[in-house]
């Protein structure tokens, strides 16, 4: 039997300012756009009830890109409040293999990073006609950082080094080996055939994900 969800942890003060909550959301940030768009993209960690209301009522967020699983951190990763408020939740969970309960490996928490989920996440962030978007994992640092960084490069045309600098500024932790290696193998060796092939494959998946569903 699944344990009852706990309220998400959301400290008002921490030693690392990137873990601090604002409006019920840890590490909450606007993703500044480099060109005019019809929508806004926000990022952060798992919201509290206050956070969901802030996203819906104050920021008019209509779409949630969810990168964590409900079972993480003792069932704190539940997005049911967003659904209740009428927001669309795109569940693209990339959970750690231990669901954040008893870490088996601090350096390799993510064993599978599906390219199809990565592509759909980027396509959803880029879809201006669907309204404002909020992308989140548990802390708003690592999985969220990877997705926003890839969005910068593959959709907005940033240089990989500039996107990686922003990722680190917003709290991405390179000690997460699986996420770091996904980034490096895709973007830091563009002259290598394997990197070119992976980028082309991912761009094709993004294009497919951006197409409207039939009917």
Distances, alpha carbon 92 to alpha carbons 86, 134, 151, in Å: 18, 13, 15
Say if residue 1's pLDDT is above 50. no
Q: pLDDT tens digits, residue range 130-139?
A: 899 999 998 9
Say if residue 8's pLDDT is above 50. yes
Say if residue 97's pLDDT is above 60. yes
Q: What is the CATH number of domain 18-210?
A: 3.90.190.10
166: three-class secondary structure by DSSP: helix
Helix (H) or strand (E) holding 172: none
Instruction: Give me the pLDDT at residue 176, please.
Output: 85
Q: Delimit the domains of the chain by residue range.
A: 18-210
Alpha-carbon gap, residue 122 to 208, rounded angstroms? 11
Instruction: Give me the pLDDT at residue 5, please.
Output: 58
Distances, alpha carbon 174 to alpha carbons 104, 143, 194, in Å: 17, 11, 22
* % of the chain exceeding 90 in pLDDT: 66
Q: pLDDT tens digits, residue range 19-51?
A: 778 899 999 999 998 888 999 999 999 999 999
- Output 177 or 209, whichever has higher pLDDT: 209
């Amino acid at each position: 039997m699944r344990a009852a969800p706990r309220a998400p942890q959301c400290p008002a003060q921490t030693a690392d300012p990137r873990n601090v909550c604002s409006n019920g959301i840890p590490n909450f940030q606007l993703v500044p756009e480099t060109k005019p768009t019809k929508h806004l993209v926000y990022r952060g960690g798992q919201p509290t009830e206050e956070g969901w209301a802030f996203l819906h009522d104050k920021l008019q967020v209509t779409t949630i890109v969810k990168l964590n699983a409900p079972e993480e951190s003792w069932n704190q990763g539940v997005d049911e409040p967003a659904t209740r408020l009428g927001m669309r939740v795109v569940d693209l969970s990339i959970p750690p293999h231990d669901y954040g309960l008893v870490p088996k490996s601090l350096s390799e928490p993510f064993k599978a990073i599906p390219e199809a989920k990565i592509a759909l996440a980027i396509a959803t962030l880029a879809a201006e006609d669907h309204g404002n978007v909020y992308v989140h994992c548990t802390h708003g640092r690592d999985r969220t950082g990877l997705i926003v960084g890839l969005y910068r490069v593959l959709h907005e045309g940033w240089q990989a080094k500039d996107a990686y600098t922003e990722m680190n500024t917003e709290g991405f932790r390179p000690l997460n080996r699986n996420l770091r290696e996904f980034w490096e193998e895709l973007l830091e060796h563009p002259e290598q055939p394997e990197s070119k092939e992976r980028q082309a494959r991912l761009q094709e998946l993004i294009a497919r994900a951006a197409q409207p569903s039939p009917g």
